[in-house]
Structure 1
């Protein structure tokens, strides 16, 4: 992976510290410094210029101009943002990006996500961009600068909320519910809470059957639309059942009938959570013995990597030594860091599609395999021309094909794709691909040098081999919901936090594998979203953020945070003294500033599409094959000499029929 790469972390942001841990796990040698006094004998220098003193900023600018190192600068906002160099905290970025407005209950205030989501996301994206830049330097001798913004990372996570904003609709906070599925919520049990998530009529019938509550047969609940409309009454009846059981009993019942469910695990209780303890025995023992401190998170790796199969045979290296001066830089810049890499993606919704989107933006050729009727998310609303904005946001720059992997001919076509691919990424249930005939040994025979990345809720070696997992369940079982609370009640991160962070972990692991200086055999990359969520939760629990509160104004809320570390009751008193409740957000921010309290407005997602900074730094436009324009989101990292580009929205998946047609179309793809 990144063995032999020398990295200097020089800055104070959490993203640098988190990134250093990730880069070390990928094999890099990482050192920390408070000043550049050692001559910079490094390949990569990671900085955070917006929270650096002016003297350090001058040195950073000189390093960027010299072009001798890969320099990655992680800042709160971009160079073209009106708030440049304001050094916002993670919570303030959550507020101004719209993230905070998506989290919490409909009748309550916006809630700060209990982990530093923007810093975590920036660390993951920065590491992926660094790995891409290392690959470019090794292949072409080109060093370049990378800029990553917390604001861009936070805004790019809004893929489930931006579609409504594009349609000029306001998406309300939904707490632990799903806006289009029911029952889907956190329910009280005899000894705690359980998350139950249903997404099909079959799952609804099974839940109704095991619950044994006669009122669930009411005609109001006969359709999904009816259940969503009467969700308050429905949830009360479901909770009538769950409160007769322990959380463990309820979870096991749901697992037995194939319904996603799980407990809301306290972060301090992760060491006793069966799957966490199975996968991370040493970390669990450390927590039992010492509790959670600032370094505990480092005991939980967010990806595992091993040989693809026992049948692997050495093959030529995929990443040669630098060839400085032998490449046309304009051609390299246009092609992207991953030019020449072929990726097959088998996934849906968020995780694997997010990985494929970024690999394609970095220049890889990505072929997305969809079921015969296309990915379900294509038909979600809102959208245009029969395709949802959500699907477009997550699947730019891919070639899409439809295969029925239950048919032998379609399996043969997939095998042909994989034979010449560099990467396979999928987020099917563990074992699903193997049942179709594509287990690790088979993949090793098809392509001994394939990087196969599997993303799942609980991992391949799991205490829950039959338990389905949705983002909400993983948030609950990974400690995220315990840390994110509204008035004492646990609440999920509004965006699909576990899915997104899991996808980012996979992206980094894949790009780092592709950057390896002498990759000679296939690799299996395993991502457990619960591992990633627990890593984030343990960092947050061991590195507490400053206190803050959301305060109501006449047109929304503002987020208050004090440089003096004021307790929330003192912040509330100052907000009351400033009469925030009778002011607009802008007026309240100004009034609080005069009182010595830092405050920022809590932006609504629908407002972002009219925000000049969002339009300049985050939003872009792509076209589809018919020439129609689509709103899309740029990647939140900028590589100065081999930029990542987001350009095209795919059309309907191509249906390939017949062996000859398959072969000719594969030749065209290749």
Structure 2
């Protein structure tokens, strides 16, 4: 992949260290201190924290600068911490229980996200340099990464609504929460009417058949009553029994796993036995996370690849110009990958079921399409296929014949059951890069268990590290989904940047692996200090010492004033307030059009390449139905010979 790449990482931010770790995992040689004897291809810095040399002016290196805010932000150059960025971006206000204060996410989410996006942007720039000889600079901002994680909360803001904290719920789906069991807690997550029907039938609680729960929108509005009725069922069962029932009927569910017990979690122990033994013997240290990889790569099949003829690209073409991607995904993970591959210049063809992806219908939106879907699916061609039908599977095979990448987040084995095994894909296209994203991985202790973001957060250690009033709570944003998608994006782009790519590849992403990698990195660091203080109109986040007098004064002041009066303090922004914030409007929010010329609010990318920029341009319309030739008419019957 990135073998032969020489990287210098000389920034103090966690994002710099983690980005270097990812590049190293992909084959690059990394130094953390400059040497006279080595000439570097890539240099990763954090100029708002460190006094670093002006590498950007050299013109000979790929230089990636990871900072808190962008150059158009009025606060540019200030060395904000991850927690301060969480507060200023709205992320913190989405995390915690509705009745409590905003909760700081227990991992450095914006630093980790910046590391993953920076690694993908660097791999893109490496591809450009290897193919066209162009070196360029890259800017990555923590604020941009934070905003990119708000796709489940920004739609309400676009509709001029306030999206408050939902604890362990989902703002657009129900039932979706942590429920008490006979011996603990279980996360149960539903997103479709079929899942709700099966769960209702299994629970056998008559009130769940009420008309007030008839539609998804009804269930979201009646979430308090719905959750109370759900617990009349779950409290009769053990956590294990409830989990097994949900697995049997295809509903995502799982227990909350403590970070100190992660090495005993069956799937983690199966997939990472060396890491589990090390934690059991020595506990979690600063480098324990390095024993867990965020992706696995192997040969697609034994078929011999025939290289695709290279097309001549213009000097300023996007990094992935000429790359064709097939996406079979829904919700967040695979769509996030496809969105960024499209922004980087790839032709992305998204396969949807005939009725369209479920997330299209989530409120709010416009013209029959949700803002959520629009945010996650920009710049794609969309095609409707029923993959249960042979004609539609044949059409997909045709699409795959000249594709470079296939990315999907179906349940493990689902694509194979449709006839698209790794061996079959290798026979169709031996040079294909096939990326499978799933909750627990292909080789798993839970081969038939579905998984959603909240379940993975619970079973990957993230919820245990994130606490609201002492209780474990999920990251408000879909942290496990987003981080899993980012890991897949990096692995795919790194493979496309390989200078020796002569065969297909299979990339496996387990969202639990990625969550555990993040949780172990956080657990191996010293805890950061800070607290949210109540103000007249919300909260501020401070990392300084706070006296009782200061705490009392905060309550009488608006948060903008209180933040100015206290050292190391910033306001905790609500997501809807971002749309009135000049910095957010200037540096993060953008607009795209659909095929009818209608404008949609979208987000700028959190990474900026100076010479071959990635761009967000368009929102797709309804999926296009594939036109097929009508069946040939049946031959006319031959008259029978009859006696005269």
Name the TM-score, length of structure 1 as normaliser. Answer: 0.91
Q: 1:80 aligns with which of 50, 56, 72?
A: 72
Q: Which residue of 2 aligns with 1:41?
A: 39
Q: Which residue of 2 aligns with 1:332?
A: 315
Q: Show the 5 A alignment for 1:263-302.
A: 263-302=255-294
Report the CA distance between 1:659 and its aligned residue.
4.9
Q: Show the 5 A alignment for 1:496-507.
A: 496-507=478-489
Cα distance between partner residues in 2 of 1:473 and 1:136: 38
Report the CA distance between 1:247 and its aligned residue.
1.9
Report the CA distance between 1:384 and its aligned residue.
1.7
Cα distance between partner residues in 2 of 1:529 and 1:414: 26
Tell me the secondary structure at the aligned position of residue 139 of structure 2: strand
Structure 1 window deviating more from structure 2 (525-534 vs 36-45): it is: 36-45
Structure 1 window deviating more from structure 2 (162-171 vs 139-148): it is: 162-171
Q: 1:554 aligns with which of 514, 536, 556?
A: 536
CA contact (8 A) 1:43 1:69 kept: yes
Q: Which residue of 2 aligns with 1:315?
A: 306
Cα distance between partner residues in 2 of 1:28 and 1:507: 17
Deviation per residue, 1:205-255 (Å, 9 max, x gap)? 433444455554556545545544443233233223333433222211211
Q: Show the 5 A alignment for 1:248-397.
A: 248-310=240-302, 312-316=303-307, 331-333=314-316, 335-397=317-379
Report the CA distance between 1:516 and its aligned residue.
0.4
Report the CA distance between 1:85 and its aligned residue.
1.2
CA contact (8 A) 1:456 1:529 kept: yes
Q: Show the 5 A alignment for 1:121-200.
A: 121-200=113-192
User: Cα–Cα, structure 1 residues 213 and 376, in superposed 2: closer, same or farther, change >3 Å?
Assistant: closer
Cα distance between partner residues in 2 of 1:118 and 1:132: 21
Q: Show the 5 A alignment for 1:415-454.
A: 415-454=397-436
Q: Which residue of 1 aligns with 2:226?
A: 234
CA contact (8 A) 2:533 2:551 kept: no
Paired residues, number: 631
Cα distance between partner residues in 2 of 1:586 and 1:292: 39
Q: Which residue of 2 aligns with 1:583?
A: 557
Cα distance between partner residues in 2 of 1:129 and 1:220: 47
Which ranges in structure 1 are unaligned for 5 or more consecutive residues? 321-326, 662-670
Cα distance between partner residues in 2 of 1:609 and 1:554: 21
Cα distance between partner residues in 2 of 1:642 and 1:230: 48
Cα distance between partner residues in 1 of 2:309 and 2:241: 50
Cα distance between partner residues in 1 of 2:305 and 2:523: 44
Cα distance between partner residues in 1 of 2:185 and 2:197: 22
Deviation per residue, 1:400-437 (Å, 9 max, x gap)? 11111111111111111100000000111111111111
Tell me the secondary structure at the aligned position of residue 48 of structure 2: helix
Report the CA distance between 1:197 and its aligned residue.
1.4
Q: Which residue of 2 aligns with 1:324?
A: none
Is 1:606 the counterpart of 2:572? The answer is no
Report the CA distance between 1:621 and its aligned residue.
1.2
User: Cα–Cα, structure 1 residues 135 and 601, in superposed 2: closer, same or farther, change >3 Å?
Assistant: same
Cα distance between partner residues in 2 of 1:572 and 1:103: 25
Tell me the secondary structure at the aligned position of residue 51 of structure 1: coil
Report the CA distance between 1:191 and its aligned residue.
3.2
CA contact (8 A) 1:138 1:319 kept: no
Report the CA distance between 1:37 and its aligned residue.
5.8
Q: Which residue of 2 aligns with 1:408?
A: 390
Q: Which residue of 2 aligns with 1:26?
A: 26
CA contact (8 A) 1:317 1:520 kept: no
CA contact (8 A) 2:124 2:493 kept: yes
Q: Which residue of 2 aligns with 1:64?
A: 56
CA contact (8 A) 2:378 2:618 kept: yes
Name the TM-score, length of structure 2 as normaliser. Answer: 0.95
Structure 1 window deviating more from structure 2 (648-657 vs 444-453): it is: 648-657
Q: Which has the higher helix share?
A: 1
